[in-house]
Structure 1
Amino acid sequence: MEYVPRERVRLLTGVLSVVSLAVVFAAAGGRIPPSSVPVAPEWVLETIPLVNALLSGAAIGSIMVGWRAIRRGDVDRHRVAMLTSFGLFVGFLTLYLYRLTATGGPQPFPGPDMVYQFVYIPLLAVHILLAIICIPLLYYVLLLAFSRSIADLRRTAHARVGRIAATLWLISFSLGIVVFALLHVVY
């Protein structure tokens, strides 16, 4: 499964991370004009947060399956579960960025100011910070996995960095679901 040159893993991790985060920050900062994305009916835009919460829940499940599989030594199941998690994340991010761009920016918090200041903003900040930290970690473990055989992979930082990435990813996805609930269910 060696698709990435071994000596390029760190360089590719850096390049992919910078490009990915630049796209995210451009969309979040309103730098991508709404006219650059296809127009969707309002019901589609309104459905995206629920779909993203479901994708986040599915990603949490697949990360846990992958974690459990590798602990049992089932590398093939681990690979499928973690690639599924990454695919769910890409789907989530694509929909999130599309909605963000199509609507012209983040949705305002509809609840009370006290909840906004002392609950919503701290949760959102941790969620976003962890998501940003996860990007290079995820690229790194994926590129390591694609650049080495299973025997060689065991002699890399894949397992150590993967545990950190999976933990932060689980927390970020979980907080994302809480943010969705605050925005769309509670208020």
Structure 2
Amino acid sequence: MVRAWAREHVPALTAILSIASLALVFGAALQVIPAAALPRVESLLNAIPHVNAIISLSAIGTILLGVREIRRGNVDRHRALMLASFALFAAFLLLYLYRVTLVGPSDFPGPSAVRTYLYLPFLAIHIALAVICIPFVFYALLSAGTRSVSEIYGTNHRRAGRVAASLWLVSFSMGIVIYALLYHVY
């Protein structure tokens, strides 16, 4: 019953989930979410950037393998890998939201010229791609999750999946560069 309803409302569910996700991200980044509502675990807060870099590298791997498997016609492996990619993305997001809610966005520790002319434009592109990616990810996930394999070919799943995978790969890769700049280069 729920699956049938969701199947008929994939675009609306995509919009609702995208808006809710972005509201959480921007609410945390703009310090709207009350930090007092969350327990503060310093060791976890310190580990999150490093854990998220590992999650990002893992997600890049699962996305690339998922693309390879669908090109080979292996739908079951593709599905498993893309669900793993989404699980990694969700874990990344939860950790990111926790840290940003309690600590706020990370300050760039390098020279102001590098911050102004390299880091901030690079960060803006990373954020824009991550924001644009979210509805494509939800659409691909929802269209695949509410239909049989044979029915998926009658949807925009393939097109949305290509865009989602491309944006995800670039965004995760840029995130690793940002991590390196914040925690290793400077």
Using the size of structure 1 for normalisation, the TM-score is 0.96
Instruction: State the alpha-carbon separation in 1 of the partners of residues 31 and 102 from structure 2.
Output: 10
Match for residue 73 of structure 1?
Answer: 73
CA distance in 2 between counterparts of 1:53 and 1:39 reads 21
Q: Classify the secondary structure of the residue corresponding to 2:107.
A: coil
Amino acid of the residue matched to residue 85 of structure 2? S
Q: Deviation per CA, 1:107-130: give whole Å up to 9, x if none.
A: 110000111011111111111101
Q: Which amino acid in 2 is paired with 1:125?
A: A
The one-letter code sitting in structure 1 at the alignment partner of 2:12 is L
Any runs of at least 4 consecutive aligned residues in structure 1 with deviations exceeding 6 A, and if so which?
A: none
Which one-letter code corresponds to 2:80 in the other structure?
A: V
Mind listing any 5+ residue stretches in structure 1 that lack a counterpart?
A: none
Deviations 1:30-72 (A, max 9, x none): 00121011120x2221110000000000000000000000000
Question: Secondary structure at 1:107's aligned position in 2?
Answer: coil
The answer to whether the Cα contact below 8 Å between 1:13 and 1:139 also exists between their aligned partners in 2 is yes
Aligned counterpart, 1:85: 85
How far has the Cα of 1:3 moved from its partner?
A: 2.8
Length, aligned pairs only:
184
1:44 alignment counterpart: 44
Change in CA separation of 1:4 and 1:13 when aligned onto 2, cut-off 3 Å: farther
Unaligned runs of 5+ in 2: none
Taking the aligned partners of 2:66 and 2:144, their CA distance within structure 1 comes to 14
Deviation at 1:102, TM superposition (A): 1.4
Q: Which has the higher contact order (CA 8 A, sep 6+)?
A: 1
- 1:22-41 superposed matches below 5 A: 22-40=23-41
Task: Please tell me the residue identity of whatever aligns with 1:90.
Answer: A
Aligned residue identity for 2:140: V
Comparing 70-79 with 31-40, which one deviates more in the overlay? 31-40
For residue 99 of structure 1, what is the aligned residue in structure 2? Answer: 99
User: What amino acid maps onto 2:92 in structure 1?
Assistant: F
Report % sequence identity: 54
Q: For 2:43 and 2:10, locate their aligned partners in 1 and report how far apart those are by CA, in whole Å.
A: 41
Q: What residue number does 1:135 align with?
A: 134
Contact 1:4 1:146 in 2 (8 A): no
CA 1:123–1:36: 2 relative to 1, 3 Å: same
- Sort the Cα spacing of 1:4 and 1:136 in 2 relative to 1 into closer, same or farther, 3 A: farther
Contact kept, 8 Å, 1:13 with 1:140, in 2: the verdict is: yes
Distance 2:116 2:16 in 1: 35
On the 8 A contact 1:65/1:81 being kept in 2, the answer is yes
